[in-house]
């Protein structure tokens, strides 16, 4: 909560750069906006691609929800209080976000909703996460759709590698072959990319099962 609360304050105090400094991994050359006066340290904490404020808060939130989920006396998020909390946070977050949406900056063509991550965005996102946790547990108990949820579990188990893999496929396969396509083709390409990632996640699941005591770096990349 302190991280989430400090985020808009830090953005106000130190500013939020429209575009962060980008060093080329191979040449070391810096891509720098002419108006950029912020430091790498500020990017790390406030206005980089995924600065510690607020994203470290989501990491801590996930850890604490996981600790709660696997307590012996706790069996499910499918309880009325979680739905109520999610609804109330959604109402508050949506109102704040609608009233103050932020700059909504575009970076490298990506018009994401979290450049910058405003207070309204943070509250709304937490509410959506609570709803998802509660809904998944509710449907798991009532409909038993284990087969439908399993692919998403496989993706989540190797989320870091999936992030790197999807960027690599987009950069070196999709963009060179399909830089500009109509909407219908774009949807088909996106669906094909999603299926490829699901297939890769399943392949990695069975690959990890064959590993015996892998080094830390392998466990970090492939997921514990």
**12-21, 26-35, 57-66, 89-98: range with lowest mean pLDDT:** 26-35
Give the pLDDT band (50/70/90) at residue 213.
confident
Termini Cα distance of the chain = 27
**12-26, 52-66, 139-153, 201-215: range with lowest mean pLDDT:** 139-153
Average pLDDT, rounded, for the chain:
88
Q: Mention every residue, 6+ apart, whose C-beta is less than 8 A from residue 81.
A: none
What's the confidence (pLDDT) of residue 146? 65
In the predicted structure, residue 34 carries a pLDDT above the cut 60: no
d(CA 155, CA 41): 32
Higher pLDDT, residue 96 or 176: 96
**Candidate ranges 77-86, 101-110, 192-201; pick with highest mean pLDDT:** 192-201
d(CA 114, CA 122): 9
What's the confidence (pLDDT) of residue 93? 96
d(CA 40, CA 163): 23
What's the confidence (pLDDT) of residue 74? 83
Is 111:104 a contact under the CB 8 Å cutoff? yes
- DSSP assigned state of 26: T
d(CA 49, CA 31): 14
- Which tens digits make up the pLDDT trace of 119-173? 999 999 999 999 989 988 888 776 666 677 888 889 999 999 999 999 999 989 9
d(CA 90, CA 100): 15
In the predicted structure, residue 224 carries a pLDDT above the cut 70: no
Give the pLDDT band (50/70/90) at residue 44.
very high
Give the pLDDT band (50/70/90) at residue 24.
confident
What's the confidence (pLDDT) of residue 163? 92
What's the confidence (pLDDT) of residue 202? 94
């Amino acid at each position: 909560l302190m991280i989430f609360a400090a985020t808009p304050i830090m953005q106000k105090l130190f500013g939020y750069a429209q575009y962060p400094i980008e060093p080329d991994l191979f040449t070391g050359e810096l891509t720098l906006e002419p108006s950029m006066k912020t430091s790498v340290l500020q990017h790390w904490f406030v206005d980089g691609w995924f600065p510690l404020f607020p994203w470290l808060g989501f990491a801590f939130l996930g850890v604490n929800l996981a600790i709660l989920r696997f307590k012996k006396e706790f069996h499910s998020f499918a309880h009325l209080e979680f739905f109520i909390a999610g609804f109330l946070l959604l109402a508050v977050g949506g109102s704040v976000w609608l009233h103050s949406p932020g700059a909504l900056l575009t970076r490298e063509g990506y018009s994401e909703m979290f450049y910058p991550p405003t207070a309204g965005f943070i509250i709304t996102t937490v509410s959506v996460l609570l709803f998802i946790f509660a809904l998944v547990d509710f449907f798991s108990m009532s409909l038993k759709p284990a087969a439908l949820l399993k692919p998403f579990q496989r993706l989540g188990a190797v989320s870091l590698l999936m992030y790197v893999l999807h960027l690599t496929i987009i950069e070196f396969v999709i963009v060179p072959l399909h830089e500009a396509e109509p909407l219908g083709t774009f949807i088909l390409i996106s669906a094909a990319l999603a299926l490829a990632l699901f297939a890769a996640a399943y392949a990695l699941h069975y690959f990890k099962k064959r590993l015996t005591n892998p080094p830390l770096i392998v466990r970090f990349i492939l997921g514990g």
